Chains A and B, each alone.
Chain A
Amino acid sequence: MKKLDTHQHMKTPVVAARSVGTRVLRSEDPRLLTGRGEFIADIDVPRQLHVAFVRSPVAHARITNLDLSAIRDAEGVALAWSGKDVAPFCEGLVGEMAVEGCFPTTMPLLAGDEVLYVGEPVAVVVADSRYAAEDACELIDWDFEELPAVTNADAAAAGGPVANPQLPDNIGLNGGASFGNVSEAFDQADQVVAGRFYTCRVSAAPMETRGVIADYEWSSKALRLWSNTQMPHYLKYMLTAYLGFPEQNVEVITPDTGGGFGMKAHVYPEEMLLPLLAREVGRPVKWIEDRRENLIAGAHAHEQYVDIAYALDADGKITGVRTHALGDGGAYHLPPWSMAVEPWCAAVMTPTGIYDVPAAEYTYKAAATNKTPVGAYRGVGYMAGTFARECLADDAARALGLSPFDFRRHNVVREFPWTNPQGIVYQEGSWLQTIDALEEMVDYPAFLRRQAELREQGRYIGLGLSCFVESSGESTATSLEHGLGDVYHDTATVRLNPNGTANVTIGLSAQGQGLATTMAQMAADTLGIKVEDVSVQTARSTSHAYGSGTIGSRGAVVAGGAVARAADVVREKVRQVAAHMLEASTDDIELVDGLASVKGVADASLSIADVATAIYFDLDSWPEDFEPTLEATQAYDPSQAMFSNGGHAILVELDAETGFVRFEKIFSVEDCGTVINPNIVEGQIRGGVLQGIGASVFEELSYDESGQILTTTFLDYGLPTMDVAPPFEIHHLETPSSHSASGVKGMGESGLIAAPAAVLNAVNDALSPFGVVLRDLPLTPEKVLGAMSGAKAATGSAEGP
């Protein structure tokens, strides 16, 4: 495994925490609360036309006739294109993951001779208004010959009808590895616990759908593209790499964005098509996805089967783990994350978790099916892998007659740094403390008494535990640590103004995480000024700082590091001038609480504002050879992989009449190192956990056997609502990272990563009097009622203890 040398851009300054760690109210809020947010649908470009798509109504078919002439003749229509019209400009987007055993696909921007999933764009219409464009879509004249639809990953992987002719074996990814003596562990095991766990297909379903606006000016070859993407710089790169727009004249603009959660971290056909359409019609074009499109054509997520087994010795220690992840990838690899990322991450990144397991073996496979391509969703792969591992931990605890706390405590890693069988190094963590803290928070003995009492009354409550380790601050080092070669680095620009205030620009777009607030906190502490004197612009335009994308729980870590490094360059300038003005040594100058002071000398201080003013306007303040630029751009990339950790304990009650799972309370422990802003960390936990509850109980994108998607509205696809959302008790542990700025670790994904395991464990705990263990999501009332009726539950993989 290649290791990273430490580079200059991986070192961050040590500063006094003033704003960091406090509950600073968000600077974003006043705009968003008054209707002054500017989301993509709110942006109108003069002379714009509107775009609508004709999408495939069938899962798999050969197009035998496609005639757009009636559309083109319709009133208000400026242009209509099919796949044949767009192919000369772009054959499609190549999708693959850079791991051994990944077989790439090329996804056309508009379908060619075959459609491969319901929702695949087949034609695009540009018209005066969205109303006119949608009306015109109805006029499409086409015939198709239906082909067998492949809708099941197991069947697809076994061969049979082909979902995508580019993948004749229906395999988009196939690989594996083994570390340590796994065979010996299983051969000599006192017992083996094993299970097959299923995480159903879901949608990230951000409240704001996707959207794109393109404006091309031929005389200057300038392209402006508005997209609510999580990866504006990558999108910009793609516009040049695939479409040939001159990079120096391309600007990607990311307005306020209404949630992303990974769905908006892909590059989609629509984002590539709009610039071509704008160039063709000579006018700006705008497309705002509707909710039906979002549910059928935005990336799907999660669907996979994870087979996992622990070898346990006579002491109840896990001596080996085997994991096989099989993802249902949909019809294409969606760049850049592809259908591979879900099973690959589950198999490679999660099996050891917090447990001191000496041997691990995994295989991963992604099967192509005639469904919407699967992509990233908040903790991609981590959720399914954590789900399987933590639910198997409960199976093991039951097999050993231990409490879920005791089994975990018995196997948890206690000494750091710890290197797992694959060679992944965990520098620090509060893994044991998490288990202890959760046990205390839930008052486990009291819970057991209450559970027993309620059972007497015919009421069934259950407590489920789930502990996680989350790879955070996605970086070059993280990528190398996991055997990949992806390179990340982000920049930030910090400018100190003449009145001692600062402007900061970061390369990451924000989707609600409050980055403008937390980055102001980081900059303020580094510069020694007040947080309200810092204004942060997140990546609204690729013309400013560079970013590798708001993904992988990296925002706070990576943007924070870049901000701290850039602010530190400015800080040094201020220290030099303050030293000159105070007739002291630069080394003795501290910048804290708005003052530049000489260490240890009372009254020897100047306000930072006065120093800034002097740098701009007073030549006498400058030391010899001083260079007065108070603006710096610096890059950052963590020098090592870093992992946050924590856990959730979820308390549920099953309704014996309806099978409905009621959530009574969530107990969460989070250790993301230094907490920049507890409000924001807690918000991420609550929101992520509720998404996990959704993915466990309420949400499923379902298909019938013909590959028709049945969940195309928010009536069919049920997001969790306020009346089912439980209260939280959140406990922070702080084990700072040894190498990030201020010791911050990322945590945006942990709620969704770990909650579903806790939900299933809680439901299985509640079901324990019935002798049934469920393993498939979602936990619908039908499945729960089936289990409570004592029958082998409705799911094929449910089984008795």
Chain B
Amino acid sequence: MSITPEERLDVSMTINGRRYRATVEARRTLADFLREDAQLPGTKLGCEHGVCGACTVLLDDLPARACLTLAVQAEGRQIRTVESLADGQELNPLQRAFREQHGLQCGFCTAGFLMTATALLEENPTPTREDIVETVSGSLCRCTGYQTIVSAIEQAAAEGQTDTEGENQ
């Protein structure tokens, strides 16, 4: 069975904890689906060929390029975008650390960095600076020179550690 790019298919997925159902063209990218169909424009498109990382979202908790993923490939999957990160109406510790370390300027690449860093910190709550660079180097930023992004992720990790220690006491 072959599917043409324009053929419309049913898809359902969970985005930021909410269930979405739609009928989309087979060729529709997950990025377009998130931004336009689900009205979650926080995920940005910087290159549309999988290099810059601005469109990184978490697909079943793992970073994925939404520009290279088709919406139909997300069938039945759990997706998290930048819109899921804030704690109610407060920045979460990672977002706060980006602000305090001046880890963003224009803010266009930021969602991708935040999502990649979120996955890193969930998998490894105590990354070294080298771990951070190793993991997050797949995203491009043209404004900051990167060092403050690494520092922000370090700060969030350190604060996460403090929080955990607090909980354990």
Report A's interface with B, CB cutoff 8 A.
25-26, 28-39, 41-42, 44, 131, 205-209, 256-259, 261, 290-291, 511-514, 679-680, 682-683, 685-687, 689-691, 713-715, 719, 721-723, 725-728
Contacts and interface: CB of A to CB of B under 8 A. Distances in A.
The 9 closest A-B pairs by CB, nearest first: A35-B42, A258-B108, A512-B106, A32-B107, A686-B145, A512-B105, A714-B51, A35-B82, A42-B41
A30 B139 CA distance: 21
Interface string B111-131: 100100000000000000000
A291 B48 contact: yes
B99 interface: yes
Contact of B146 (A41, A205, A725): A725
A702 B141 CA distance: 22
Given A32-B110, A207-B46, A25 B99 contact: yes
B151 to A, nearest CB: 10
Interface stretch (B7-15, B68-76, B83-91, B161-169): B83-91
Given A686-B144, A721-B140, A291 B49 contact: yes
A775 to B, nearest CB: 26
Given A290-B48, A687-B142, A714-B52, A28 B102 contact: no
Nearest to B84: A35
A131 B41 contact: no
B66 interface: no
A261 B142 contact: yes
Contacts of B47: 291, 713-714
Nearest to B99: A29
Q: Which of B82, B106, B137 has the most CB of A within 10 A?
A: B106
Nearest to B25: A131
Nearest to A290: B48
A33 B149 contact: no
Q: Which of A131, A680, A728 has the most CB of B within 10 A?
A: A131
A188 to B, nearest CB: 45
A512 to B, nearest CB: 3
Interface of B: 25, 27-28, 35-36, 40-49, 51-52, 54, 81-83, 85-86, 91, 95, 98-100, 102, 104-111, 114, 133-134, 136-150
Contact of B42 (A36, A680, A722, A727): A36
Contacts of A685: 145
A508 B44 CA distance: 24
Nearest to B95: A33
A178 B83 CA distance: 60
A33 B106 contact: no
B35 to A, nearest CB: 7
Contacts of B136: 722
A35 B41 contact: yes
B51 A713 contact: yes
Contact of A33 (B36, B48, B98): B98
Contacts of B106: 32, 206-208, 256-259, 511-512
Nearest to A32: B107
Contact of B140 (A37, A39, A512, A719): A719
Given A34-B86, A207-B108, A728 B147 contact: yes
